[in-house]
């Protein structure tokens, strides 16, 4: 009990300090009379205040191939006020189709670390460590918080036009594929931890491994680790939300916390909805108090204002540093999102009491992401704002 209280105090105090630099938009409460979507989502027609011409154009661009950069949109689900108000699938896909998350999985890893902290199994301001690092290794003193905020300082390049040099491809499908955590742990330091932000799937894989060692401490082989983690994830999150999610594991039994989660569009919407409701589900707290705010608060590094802790952010002024914010309308600066390769997104917008999921694929790079950001901004912007009814805690 004492350990739980101390861990909660560490999180609340640290989150309050980080939040002081940026006031966060209040997270809205569950509307009266709306059932929680544990079993299934309630549906409702599009609200009367939706800008239908703008909304219809965005839908046409997504599903009629009218936009050359958006590629193939397989699913779009929009939740507002706790109900599905729009849902459409590409031919060949349905509400029961499980689709890959790619890097949206990082936001799920954020949730699971929070759950483990709430259970008293870890504290995010203590060193995370790895079996390959000695006590004197600077990497060994990097905290869970710093790994979550991607200010770990590893010398790692996420992507490259030459896939043989791209870090993520080498780790998941190249020489690191047999033991992804070991491969990630061998990356040297380039910066002092806590000073410089760098987007890194390697860091999230190290979190996956560390969390597995915490939860499945007694498991002695890969099969036992997989079984222990599946059971814990299902009991702690997926079953509580009514999700039918599946995660892939490497040969050592480490779940790919940076990628390779499979779920339906409606399931991804449930996860976004958990964050919209401040980590509370049907009257019960699933994530620690303050954990959602931690995820949507910019980290300590000065070289970005578009990333929190395993969640992408929308800066209040300008395009952001380094300019990878999804939403381009700064009047929606409260929006935060989970993003994955080829245009997988979960966007949470508290000011509109809205969650939007888009799943699909495109072949472009930055220009395709810019197009998806413009499209997302126009589709979400077609919905009216909803006054905040819940004060910050």
3-state helix, strand, coil in the chain (%, to 5): 35, 15, 50
Where do the H-state alpha helices sit in the chain? Answer: 2-19, 52-63, 105-118, 144-148, 167-173, 180-185, 201-215, 222-233, 239-241, 265-276, 291-295, 366-381
Which residues does residue 154 pair with via DSSP β-bridges, in sequence order? 189
Question: What does the pLDDT average to over 331-354?
Answer: 97
Average pLDDT along the chain: 91
**Per-residue confidence band for 391, with pLDDT thresholds at 50, 70 and 90:** very low
* pLDDT exceeds cutoff 90 at 70: yes
pLDDT value of residue 140: 97
> What is the C-alpha separation between 373 and 270, in angstroms, rounded?
22
The pLDDT of residue 319 is above 80: no
- Helices 222-233 & 201-215 angle (0-180, nearest 10): 90
**Mean pLDDT, to the nearest integer, of 200-219?**
97
What CA–CA distance (Å, rounded) separates 242 from 38? 5
Cα separation, 261 vs 124, whole angstroms:
24
Phi, psi of 108 (to 5 degrees): -65, -40
Q: What pLDDT is recorded for position 15? A: 45
* Angstrom distance (rounded) from CA 183 to CA 177: 8
Average the pLDDT over 319-331 and give the result: 83
In the predicted model, what is the mean pLDDT of residues 218-242? 98
Q: What is the pTM of this model?
A: 0.93
> What is the structure's pLDDT at 21?
42
Structure-model confidence comparison of residues 185 and 174, the more confident one: 185
DSSP lists the bridge partners of residue 89 as 75
Q: What is the pLDDT of residues 236-251, one digit of tens each?
A: 999 999 999 999 999 9
The pLDDT score that the predictor gives to residue 161 is 54
DSSP 279: T
pLDDT at 41 over 70: yes
Per-residue pLDDT at 349 exceeds 80: yes
- The reported pLDDT for the residue numbered 168 is 80
Residue 389: its pLDDT value, please?
A: 61
Q: What tens digit of pLDDT does each residue of 127-147 get?
A: 999 999 998 999 999 999 999
Task: Fill in the DSSP letter of residue 383.
Answer: S
**Domain spans of the chain?**
2-381
User: According to CATH, what is the number of the domain 2-381?
Assistant: 3.40.710.10
Confidence of residue 176 (pLDDT cuts 50, 70, 90): confident
CA 245 to chain centre: 15
Phi-psi region of 349 (alpha: psi -120 to 50; beta: other; left: phi over 0): beta
């Amino acid at each position: 009990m004492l350990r739980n209280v101390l861990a909660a105090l560490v999180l609340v105090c640290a989150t309050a300090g980080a939040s002081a630099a940026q006031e966060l938009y209040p997270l809205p409460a569950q509307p009266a009379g709306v059932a929680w979507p544990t079993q299934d989502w309630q549906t409702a027609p599009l609200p009367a205040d939706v800008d239908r011409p703008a909304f219809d154009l965005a839908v046409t661009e997504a599903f009629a191939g009218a936009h050359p950069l958006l590629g193939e949109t397989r699913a779009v689900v929009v939740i507002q006020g706790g109900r599905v108000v729009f849902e459409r699938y590409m031919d060949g896909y349905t509400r029961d189709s499980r689709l890959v998350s790619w890097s949206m999985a990082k936001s799920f890893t954020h949730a699971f670390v929070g759950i483990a902290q709430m259970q008293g199994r870890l504290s995010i301001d203590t060193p995370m460590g790895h079996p390959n690092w000695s006590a004197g290794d600077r990497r060994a003193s990097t905290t869970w918080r710093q790994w979550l905020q991607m200010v770990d300082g590893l010398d790692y390049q996420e992507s490259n036009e030459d896939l043989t040099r791209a870090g993520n491809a080498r780790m998941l499908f190249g020489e690191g594929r047999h033991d992804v955590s070991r491969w990630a742990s061998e990356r040297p330091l380039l910066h002092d931890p806590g000073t410089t932000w760098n987007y890194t799937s390697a860091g999230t894989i190290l979190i996956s491994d560390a969390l597995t060692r915490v939860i499945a401490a007694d498991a002695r082989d890969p099969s036992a680790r997989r079984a222990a983690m599946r059971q814990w994830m299902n009991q702690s999150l997926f079953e509580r939300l009514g999700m039918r999610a599946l995660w892939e594991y490497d040969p050592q039994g480490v779940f790919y916390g940076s990628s390779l989660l499979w779920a339906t569009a409606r399931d991804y919407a449930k996860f976004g909805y958990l964050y919209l409701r401040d980590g509370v589900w049907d009257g019960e707290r699933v994530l620690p108090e303050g954990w959602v705010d931690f995820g949507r608060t910019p980290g300590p590094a000065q070289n970005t204002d578009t990333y929190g802790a395993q969640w992408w952010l929308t800066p209040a002024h300008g395009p952001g540093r380094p300019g990878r914010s999804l939403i381009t309308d700064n009047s929606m600066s409260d929006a935060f999102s989970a993003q994955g390769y080829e245009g997988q997104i979960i966007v949470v917008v508290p000011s509109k009491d809205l969650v939007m999921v888009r799943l699909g694929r495109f072949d472009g790079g930055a220009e395709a992401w810019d197009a998806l950001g413009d499209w997302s901004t126009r589709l979400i912007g077609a919905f009216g704002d909803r006054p905040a009814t819940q004060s910050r805690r």
